[in-house]
Amino acid sequence: MTCFCGNREDFYGEVLLLDEKKITLTDERGIKKSSKVAAILQQVFSHLKVVEIEFFGLRFCDNKQQTHWLDPLKTISQHRDLVGPPYIFYFGVKFYAEAPSKLKEEVTRWQFYLQVRQDVRRGRLPCPAHLRPQLFALMLHVERGDDAGLEMSDSEEREEVQNIYKRFR
């Protein structure tokens, strides 16, 4: 009699990227539960065209919503707290460069920017209230350039961001 539970090696997962896009991982792409995490990282690096790989890693949330970094030298199944399928991994900066200006690749600097942007917006990286409007205006300018039509509510902070943003043009 055949079991309908599927193969124990079957794999389905997603990697959520810093730009809020995602990569779907399946056994058809060569990923299995017995695969090393390094194989997933290699697919992500290839997709993003990241060369300076030593700064990045993959995280996951366990049953208690605690975040853990995946060990690239271990297999997926060796991470005991991993919840799935589907397995959800988060690509992110694991180690920041001491001097980001010395990074060789623009792609690496862009991923650093996306990580900092995400951390500021989610409150994981504190930003003094008086600097927030200027920082958000700079982020808008980086992402939209000079001619972005801003649709913002009437909140005081958003109005201040809009005024600073207009000065960058």
The string of pLDDT tens digits covering residues 72-99 is 999 988 888 888 788 899 999 998 888 8
Instruction: Provide the token pair at 16.
Output: 């959520």
Instruction: Provide the token pair at 148.
Output: 């972005």
pTM assigned to the model: 0.77
- Lay out the sheet containing 22-26: strands in order across: 22-26, 12-16, 87-93, 56-61, 67-69
- Asked if 70 and 89 count as a contact pair (C-beta separation under 8 A), the reply is yes
Instruction: Provide the token pair at 28.
Output: 């058809």
pLDDT classification of 1: cutoffs 50, 70, 90: very low
Rounded to a whole number, what is the largest CA-CA distance in the chain? Answer: 72
When pLDDT is averaged across residues 4-14 and rounded to a whole number, the result is: 67
Whether the pLDDT of residue 169 is over 70: the answer is no
- What per-residue confidence (pLDDT) applies to 4? 40
- What per-residue confidence (pLDDT) applies to 93? 94
135-to-5, 19, 148, 157 alpha-carbon distances in Å: 51, 18, 17, 12
